[in-house]
Amino acid sequence: MDFFMLIAQLSDTHIKPQGKLAYKRVDTSLMLGVAIDHLRQLPQTPDLIVITGDLVDEGSIEEYGILRRFLTNLPAPYLLIPGNHDDRNNMRAVFTDHPWISETGFWQYSASSPNWPLRIIGLDTVNQGHSSGLLCQTRLDWFEDALTQEPNTPTLVMLHHPPFKTGIGHMDDIGLEGQEELAKILSLHPQIQLVICGHLHRNIRATVGGRAVMTSPSTAHTVQLDIAENAAAMYRMEPPGYLLHWWSGVGLVTHHVSAVSSSGPFPFFDDSGKLLL
Ligand SMILES: [Fe+2]
Ligand SMILES: [Fe+2]
């Protein structure tokens, strides 16, 4: 088993049907292509790529087909979980050979490999027909059983809806039902190194049940940061990005990466080789 592991987390790719823009403004396919190009140029190739929901915008077969073609350009295997914009049945219809498709009604699974020091658990928070998320008792019970079976394996958990109040009111209004029950389970399983989420389209960090929880930026648009009460539901175009989770052997370290064209690297030393740090 390798000692180190590098996991790239993309989120909220919101792929639209051919020729359509999200909110008539955002070319999500173009932006995913840029993010994947960026990922491919990293100095280290990730061992695994996870995409934490809202994979497409309307849940259609056409969109999943477009997404799948993009994902063939990823430099590593990938894992998917659905978000509130996704349709489980259409996801299954297109990703038929996804090795981690659940036989149950939910897109929940435990993924592991002899080459991975981490176990990955995906949870399905989709409450079909609603923008808010739900972890019902069936899904919570499955999660608790999965954790109980491997109490000593370092574990990364992923779900689309974050299990905490972010302060961005219109997003908290479509937040996760079952937060308290999930927090209790998290508190009982210290092998959980990190819980990663999407939905907010921004990088936010919190602690739930004593475990670190983090949301990822989107590869496309960003939810406007406004924690005023009754703030309007707005989005904005900030630099898109993704997260890199590095298992160092003793813990997980997360790096935020801006998926935009940039210049460099430039040396921190002068012409004589003297370090200027
Ligand atoms: Fe989203
Ligand atoms: Fe979402």
Residue 179 backbone class (left: φ over 0; alpha: ψ -120 to 50; beta: rest)? alpha
Question: Does residue 268 lie in a domain region?
Answer: no
% residues pLDDT > 90 (the chain): 91
DSSP string for residues in 29-41? HHHHHHHHHHHHT
Question: Does residue 176 lie in a domain region?
Answer: yes
Q: State the distance from the centre of ligand 1 to the C-alpha of 7, rounded, in angstroms.
A: 20
Question: Does residue 91 lie in a domain region?
Answer: yes
CATH value at residue 76:
3.60.21.10
136-150 in b/e burial notation, b at 16+ Cβ within 10 A? eeebbebbbebbeee
Q: State the distance from the centre of ligand 1 to the C-alpha of 225, rounded, in angstroms.
A: 15
Q: State the distance from the centre of ligand 1 to the C-alpha of 199, rounded, in angstroms.
A: 4
Question: Does residue 264 lie in a domain region?
Answer: no
Q: Which ligand is nearest to the CA of 216?
A: 1
Q: State the distance from the centre of ligand 1 to the C-alpha of 276, rounded, in angstroms.
A: 42
Question: Does residue 265 lie in a domain region?
Answer: no
Mean pLDDT comparison of 14-23, 90-99, 257-266, highest-scoring range: 14-23
247: enclosing H helix or E strand? strand 241-247
Q: State the distance from the centre of ligand 1 to the C-alpha of 242, rounded, in angstroms.
A: 13
- Residue 104 — pLDDT band, cuts 50, 70, 90? low
pLDDT at 262 over 90: no
Q: State the distance from the centre of ligand 2 to the C-alpha of 201, rounded, in angstroms.
A: 8
Q: State the distance from the centre of ligand 1 to the C-alpha of 132, rounded, in angstroms.
A: 11
- Residue 1 — pLDDT band, cuts 50, 70, 90? low
Could you tell me which residue, 205 or 101, shows the higher pLDDT? 205
- Residue 177 — pLDDT band, cuts 50, 70, 90? very high
Q: State the distance from the centre of ligand 2 to the C-alpha of 7, rounded, in angstroms.
A: 21
Question: Does residue 247 lie in a domain region?
Answer: yes
Q: What is the arithmetic mean of pLDDT over 157-177?
A: 97
- Residue 98 — pLDDT band, cuts 50, 70, 90? confident
Q: Which ligand is nearest to the CA of 55?
A: 1
Q: State the distance from the centre of ligand 2 to the C-alpha of 104, rounded, in angstroms.
A: 22
Q: How many domains does the chain have?
A: 1
Q: State the distance from the centre of ligand 2 to the C-alpha of 268, rounded, in angstroms.
A: 40
pLDDT at 238 over 80: yes
Question: Does residue 266 lie in a domain region?
Answer: no
Residue 34's domain comprises 5-258
From CA 14, how far away is CA 220, in angstroms rounded? 8
